[in-house]
């Protein structure tokens, strides 16, 4: 995201904040069949090659400050086998965001479609949301007056009928994105798995981003 693109994002978020306050926000996405979208991103680690195309695409699209990533794929070596594991780190767009509860100015918006956004016109950059995030997925952008920032599932792209940059760039098809209220066949295949994973995970908050662990994929 260039300087002009960042200004565009600021204006976009301001418009979203106003529309949300008026309870009239809908995203006009060409692939959507309903105004009650439930955007869902599945990251299937059984398909992931660790190529980092998602990290690169996100960095190019959002252009956060140096050293900051809104979405990245961490590579870790397990012991004693030395097997490499790929671990996504990004905003999970929690159903009940801890960052939203921690924000003293109500700058964080949980949209009806599931996306978590930050209104830069309200954010004071105190870092409370960053400390509250259990996924360590938020940061302060010094190029934007120390405003809090994180993945927004490429909300601007969705508004133009496009999918998130990380999904578009994934050559192995490890990232499956869509509307759970009106899913594609591929996303529909994952919905039972998502339900099972959400019922099993007790420690961390549940959200619109779901990671399918190795060997747990049963979708065709």
Comparing 96-110, 155-169, 197-211, the range with the smallest average pLDDT is: 197-211
Put simply, whether the predicted model's pTM sits higher than 0.85 gets the answer no
Tell me the pLDDT tens digit for each residue of 23-78: 333 333 444 444 589 999 999 999 999 999 999 999 999 999 899 999 999 988 87
**pLDDT band, very low/low/confident/very high, at 179 (cuts 50, 70, 90):** very high
Given a cut of 70, is residue 16 above it in pLDDT? no
Given a cut of 70, is residue 109 above it in pLDDT? yes
Mean pLDDT across 116-135? 96
Separation of CA 5 from chain center: 19
Q: What pLDDT score does 153 carry?
A: 98
Q: What's the fold here for domain 3-212?
A: Alpha-Beta Plaits (3.30.70)
**How many residues belong to the chain?**
220
Q: What pLDDT score does 115 carry?
A: 98
Tell me the pLDDT tens digit for each residue of 130-139: 999 999 999 9
Q: What pLDDT score does 198 carry?
A: 85
Comparing 27-41, 66-80, 114-128, 163-177, the range with the smallest average pLDDT is: 27-41
More confident site: 10 or 57: 57
Q: What pLDDT score does 108 carry?
A: 97
Given a cut of 70, is residue 103 above it in pLDDT? yes
Quote the percentage of the chain above a pLDDT of 90: 64
Cβ-defined contacts of 106-113 (< 8 Å, 24+): 107/148, 108/148, 109/16, 109/17, 109/20, 111/16, 111/20, 111/25, 112/25, 112/36, 113/27, 113/36, 113/37, 113/38, 113/39
* Interatomic CA distance for residues 52 and 114, integer angstroms: 25
Question: For the chain, what are the domain ranges?
Answer: 3-212
More confident site: 181 or 85: 181
More confident site: 220 or 172: 172
């Amino acid at each position: 995201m260039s300087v002009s693109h960042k200004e565009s994002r600021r204006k976009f978020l301001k418009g979203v904040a106003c529309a949300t306050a008026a309870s009239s926000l809908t995203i006009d996405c060409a692939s959507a069949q309903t105004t009650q979208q439930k955007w869902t991103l599945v990251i299937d680690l059984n398909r992931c090659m660790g190529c980092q195309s998602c990290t690169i695409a996100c960095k190019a699209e959002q252009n956060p400050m140096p050293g900051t990533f809104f979405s990245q794929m961490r590579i870790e070596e397990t012991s004693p086998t030395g097997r490499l594991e790929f671990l996504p780190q990004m905003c999970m767009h929690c159903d009940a965001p801890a960052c939203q509860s921690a924000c003293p100015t109500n700058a964080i918006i949980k949209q009806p479609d599931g996306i978590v956004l930050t209104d830069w016109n309200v954010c004071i950059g105190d870092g409370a949301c960053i400390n509250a995030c259990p996924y360590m997925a938020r940061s302060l952008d010094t190029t934007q007056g120390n405003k809090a920032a994180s993945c927004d599932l490429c909300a601007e792209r969705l508004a133009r009928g496009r999918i998130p940059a990380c999904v578009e760039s994934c050559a192995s098809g490890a990232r499956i994105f869509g509307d759970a209220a009106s899913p594609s066949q591929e996303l529909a295949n994952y919905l039972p798995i998502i339900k099972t994973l959400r019922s099993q995970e007790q420690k961390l908050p549940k959200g619109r981003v779901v990671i399918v662990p190795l060997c747990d994929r049963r979708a065709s």
